[in-house]
Each structure stands twice: as structure tokens, then as C-alpha cells.
């Protein structure tokens, strides 16, 4: 598991951590049941305070991404990946329909829209 944090980002550090661990789980880089470093170890490796990693882990736990066993550490929770994907897909559909509405308003064709999409996607 790799985590890169930025001290100059506006996003709080604990959020950077939760987001990166979440995406590692969603992409399958972290398998369910596999251990993640203890919050004290992670704090040391990232050179940040324990209370920050503690907060990140608490939020991940609340959101159901990880679980902790006292004395053993934290592990990736069983994820219903299909459900999460389905939810994300729904959000994407909503966002895309807004894009299509906007495109129609200024007369953008489907081809042109796809072209813009391709450029952005490959960026």
C-alpha cells in the first residue's frame, strides 16, 4: 500500500489518507481481509501525528472500509464491490446527463462531445 500526502494541499491530511486507502481498496490493490499498517506505524512512516492517522482510520471504519481487532490491528473489510460500482455508475450517469443537457443547449454534437471526452480521459 502506498500513500502520498501533500502538506500544501487544501485537503486535510486525514482526508488524503482516507481517500487513498479507499481507492486502493476499490481498485483491488488491497484485498479484503488483508492487514493494513497500524495507525502508529503509518504515522511514523508518513511523518505525521498519530492523531491524524487515528482520525483517518476511524473514518474508514465508520464508512465500512476497514475493521480493527484490538491487539491484532486493522484489516480491509469485506466490500460489496458490485454495489459500490453500481452506486458510482449511477452518479456517473447523472453527471453525464447534465453534460448532455448542457451540450444540447449550445448545439454540441455527440461526435464533438466524445472527442472532448477522449482528450480529457487520456490526459
Partner 1 sequence: MDNVVELNNVTKQFKDFSVTDLNLQVKRGFVHGFIGANGAGKSTTIKMMMNLLKPDAGDVKVFGLDYKSHEKEIKERIGFVYDGNVFFEGMNLKDIKRIVAPAYKHWDDDVFKKYIDQFELPLNKSIKRFSKGMQMKASLAIALSHHAELIIMDEPTAGLDPIFRRELLELLQEIMIDGNRTIFFSTHITTDLDRIADYIAFINKGQLIFNKTIHEVSESYAIVKGRKELLDRDTEKAFVNIHQSSVGFEALTDDLAGAENTFGDSAVIERATLEDIMYYMKGGMQHV
Q: Residue 25 or 56: which CB sits closer to partner 1?
A: 56
DSSP state of 29: S
Q: Residue 51 or 89: which CB sits closer to partner 1?
A: 51
Closest CB 14 distance from partner 1, rounded Å: 8
Closest CB 9 distance from partner 1, rounded Å: 11
Q: Residue 44 or 62: which CB sits closer to partner 1?
A: 44
Question: Left, alpha or beta for 71 (phi > 0: left; psi -120 to 50: alpha)?
Answer: left
String marking each residue 15-44 x if it binds partner 1 according to CB under 8 A: -----------------------x-xx-xx
What are the grid coordinates assigned to 60, written together?
A: 474508514
| Residue burial 45-75, b: 16+ Cβ < 10 Å; e: rest | ebebeeebbebbbebbeeeebbebeeeeebb
String marking each residue 40-79 x if it binds partner 1 according to CB under 8 A: xx-xx--xxxxxx--x------------------------
Distance (Å, whole) CA 122 – CA 116: 10
Measure CA 28 to chain center. 12
Footprint on this chain of partner 1 (rule: CB under 8 A): 12, 14, 38, 40-41, 43-44, 47-52, 55
Amino acid at each position: 500500500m502506498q500513500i502520498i500526502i501533500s502538506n500544501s494541499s487544501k485537503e486535510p491530511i486525514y482526508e488524503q489518507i482516507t481517500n487513498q486507502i479507499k481507492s486502493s481498496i476499490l481498485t483491488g490493490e488491497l484485498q479484503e481481509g488483508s492487514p493494513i499498517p497500524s495507525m502508529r506505524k503509518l504515522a511514523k512512516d508518513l511523518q505525521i501525528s498519530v492523531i491524524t492517522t487515528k482520525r483517518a482510520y476511524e473514518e474508514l471504519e465508520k464508512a465500512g472500509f476497514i475493521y480493527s481487532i484490538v491487539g491484532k490491528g486493522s484489516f480491509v473489510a469485506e466490500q460489496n464491490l458490485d454495489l459500490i460500482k453500481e452506486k458510482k455508475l449511477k452518479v456517473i450517469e447523472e453527471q453525464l446527463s447534465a453534460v448532455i443537457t448542457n451540450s444540447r443547449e449550445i448545439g454540441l454534437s455527440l461526435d464533438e462531445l466524445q472527442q472532448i471526452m477522449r482528450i480529457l480521459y487520456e490526459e
